Amino acid sequence: MPMRRAPRMGIEGPSGPFKGSVSLAAAAASWGVPRRAVRRLVASGRVPFVQIAGRIRLPRKLVEHSWEWVAARP
């Protein structure tokens, strides 16, 4: 199994392939909902995510939508 290099952290967060991602806590704050609600949505498999060092990150473009739009996704 090839080893992966850890993502480089900049002031604005991860760079490289994870540059367009937002933390779970930041997404919840942006939508004005509890982190648990976002985590349930991720656990249901209805939204894409990446996991970096055990932390869940969501695509920035997804977070730019309203919570109602995201929660209504099939």
Tens of pLDDT, residues 37-74: 999 999 999 888 888 888 889 988 888 889 898 888 87
| Tokens read off for 25 | 């806590």
Taking each continuous run of H as one helix and of E as one strand, the counts in the chain are 4, 5
Residue 23 CA to its chain's centroid (Å): 5
Beta bridge partners of 23: 57
| pLDDT band, very low/low/confident/very high, at 11 (cuts 50, 70, 90) | very low
pTM: 0.70
What CATH topology corresponds to 20-71?
Arc Repressor Mutant, subunit A (1.10.10)
Q: What is the pLDDT of residue 27?
A: 92
Q: What is the pLDDT of residue 16?
A: 58
| pLDDT band, very low/low/confident/very high, at 18 (cuts 50, 70, 90) | low
